[in-house]
Amino acid sequence: MMQKFYSADKVFTGTEWLSNKAIIVTDGKITDIVSVGDIDDDSIPNYPIIAPAFMDIQIYGAYGKLLAVYPDADALHKLYEYCSKGGATHFQPTVATNSYEIFYRCIDAVKAYWKEGGKGCLGLHVEGPWIHPKKKGAHIESFIHSPTIEEAKELLEYGKGVITMITLAPEVCSKEVIALIKSYGVIISAGHSNATYEAATDAFDNGISAATHLYNAMSPLQHREPGIVGAIFDHDKVMSSLVPDGFHVDFSAIRIAKKIMKERLFVITDAVTETTDGPSPHHLMGDRYEMYGILSGSALTMAKSVYNLVNHVGIDLGEALRMVSLYPAQVMRKADHMGMIEKGYDANLVMLDNSYEVMDVID
């Protein structure tokens, strides 16, 4: 039995702040939270802040290896390194609209990564190609189409146990296809969609539990046509990701969405990496990436997201921390053992300084 101790001036459990506490970890599980004075060991590291480790469920590549261009285990090792440096011990690698050959190779890459003992990979997020061409964003239009039952089943069978999320436009997919995806236990997120308010609301009422990067690549909220943004705002259950870099979404628009959606809004980085290979070249332009002049991804880390939410949006630190940990865990159906510092939960911890910079992670 391996027992470790971690102490902090402030511990955020996911529900409350505790002062001068030590977390006891036994064989990878949190077994107790006690007062620092109860631990008779001066060698225990003490941090300003300990919080639940972050979870990034939409990220495409890191350190020059975009997964869609380099669909191999090494790309995922680089993703894990990038994510953990930003405080995220778990990540869901994402491949955007592409050929089925690339999707299959990305599925194989996740399998290989897991076989090598790779850490933190939740599964594969397939974003497209079943999206609306008018809301393609930086996706490759030639691959975009509506799926048949047969091709959807072929992809789901090949990716069984690996594909964990699919982003699609509900208006271009039949209810039979959506029901098929659900039957495989895959989480469906509505995105790159031109759906009407009515169509989006119907989709949310019938099994689509999430939406992808709020405001971006979706029909906007207008006073006579509320669109999918209006449907997301108005629904009482659907959760949506958002990219808080100030480029994908103005900080004031994040503040408005947060007031309306409250705990239904969570963070993704949507981060890509510099690449000149393949059909989707991403070029770093300051603090964001562009492809042929179109915004194509962020340069965020989850820790930078927390900083932005607190300092630019005005969100309380505890709530900002939930948006990068507990809420993504809820979307991924893992909140019964991840996203909180609580007895019996996995010991996934992030250690922060008072400027929210990452000092260490425990995974």
Q: The pTM is what?
A: 0.97
pLDDT of residue 212: 98
Considering the domain architecture, whether residues 68 and 101 belong to the same structural domain is answered as yes
Beta strands per DSSP E along 36-87 = 46-52, 54-59, 61-62, 65-66
Considering the domain architecture, whether residues 248 and 155 belong to the same structural domain is answered as yes
Considering the domain architecture, whether residues 260 and 346 belong to the same structural domain is answered as no
- The CATH code of the domain that includes 196 is 3.20.20.140
Look at strands 294-298 and 288-291 and give their pairing.
antiparallel
Considering the domain architecture, whether residues 125 and 31 belong to the same structural domain is answered as no
Considering the domain architecture, whether residues 170 and 229 belong to the same structural domain is answered as yes
Q: Which of 270, 277, 287, 360 is catalytic?
A: 270
pLDDT of residue 1: 77
Q: Give the three-state DSSP class for 359.
A: strand
- The CATH code of the domain that includes 28 is 2.30.40.10
Look at strands 88-96 and 29-35 and give their pairing.
unpaired
Considering the domain architecture, whether residues 35 and 73 belong to the same structural domain is answered as no
Please give the full DSSP string across 160-206, using - where no structure is assigned: TTTEEEEEE-GGGS-HHHHHHHHHTT-EEEE-SB---HHHHHHHHHT
Please give the full DSSP string across 266-300, using - where no structure is assigned: EE---B---B-SSS--BEEETTEEEETTEEEEE--
Considering the domain architecture, whether residues 208 and 297 belong to the same structural domain is answered as yes
Active site residue 270: yes
Considering the domain architecture, whether residues 161 and 285 belong to the same structural domain is answered as yes
**Quick count: other Cβ atoms within 10 Å of Cβ 133?**
14
- Residue 118 structural domain: 54-331
The tens place of each residue's pLDDT in the chain, 363 residues long, gives 788 999 999 999 999 999 999 999 999 999 999 999 888 777 788 999 999 999 999 999 999 999 999 999 999 999 999 999 999 999 999 999 999 999 999 999 999 999 999 999 999 999 999 999 999 988 999 999 999 999 999 999 999 999 999 999 999 999 999 999 999 999 999 999 999 999 999 999 998 999 999 999 999 999 999 999 999 999 999 999 999 999 999 999 999 999 999 999 999 999 999 887 777 788 888 788 887 778 888 989 999 999 999 999 999 999 999 999 999 999 999 999 999 999 999 999 999 999 999 999 999
pLDDT of residue 293: 79
Considering the domain architecture, whether residues 224 and 323 belong to the same structural domain is answered as yes
Distance CA 321, CA 300 (A): 15
Considering the domain architecture, whether residues 198 and 215 belong to the same structural domain is answered as yes
Q: Are 103 and 66 in contact (CB under 8 A)?
A: no
